[in-house]
Amino acid sequence: MTHLFDWQGVLSGPPLQWILSGFLTTLWVTLAGIVLASLLAILFLALRLSGGRVGRGITAAWVSLFRNTPLLVQLLFWYFAAWNLLPQGVREFVNDDHGWSILPGDVWWLTPEFLCSAWGLGVFTSAFLIEEAASGLHSVSNGQREAALAQGFSSWGMLRYILLPQGLANAWQPIVGQYLNLMKLSSLASGIGFAELTYQVRQIESYNAHALEAFAVGTGLYLLTGIVLGLLFTRFGPSPVGSAKRVKNVTLKRARSVEDGR
């Protein structure tokens, strides 16, 4: 039995509009989740490095909680349980219509579904980013730390110019992998009624039964997005070669300044 593809049932009329809307919604919630996850990872990594035993304990609890529970369960919790704990005024404000809360592509970001999806994806991914970045910092040899201290670097200067450039360069590819996982995991947000790409593809299947064509287009868009994001993050992210040169230059400048001050 040969299946005859009918792409007009997917690439025209309402199905095409749904796919474009779902694709743009996926891009926006991915961007919001990446920004939130990065900020949370920086915050908790700083807390681990400078917060003493209490900071390390709080960070360990955060990582353990969000890394060891399913993302879908977390999304359901944020949407059906935690959302109702917010003050009534906040929920009414979010549910009201606001002309300034529309992103390009007619995507509304100030909605419970968008906010809970971005928050859930962000906190879940941040737990992995913390460990990836910490592993990168630990990969810097102790010899470089000792050399930096011998050159007169302060603790902050050593972190800023020696540890972070090399640590981020070493951990960058795993970090990119976590960003791409976030994009793909956004499909789970359809479980709380968030109209991202997977949600819209399933809607087409219910609308005209063109399941094969709809899921083929959806898979192609996920693949295209992953490839483009991966190339962009790799192109504009830190590189080991560039970081090594930068560390060498900073070390030489610092050594000259120490010699001049004698």
User: How many whole angstroms separate alpha carbon 149 and alpha carbon 153?
Assistant: 5
Rounded (10°) CA dihedral 191, 193, 198, 204? 130
Q: Which residues have a Cβ under 8 Å from the Cβ of 72 and sit 6 or more positions away?
A: 188, 191
- pLDDT tens sequence across 6-52: 888 899 999 999 999 999 999 999 999 999 999 999 999 999 988 78
- pLDDT tens sequence across 75-127: 999 999 999 999 999 999 999 989 899 999 999 999 999 999 999 999 999 99
User: How many whole angstroms separate alpha carbon 16 and alpha carbon 188?
Assistant: 21
User: How many whole angstroms separate alpha carbon 114 and alpha carbon 25?
Assistant: 9
- pLDDT tens sequence across 98-108: 989 999 999 99
* pTM for the structure as a whole: 0.87
DSSP code for 107: E
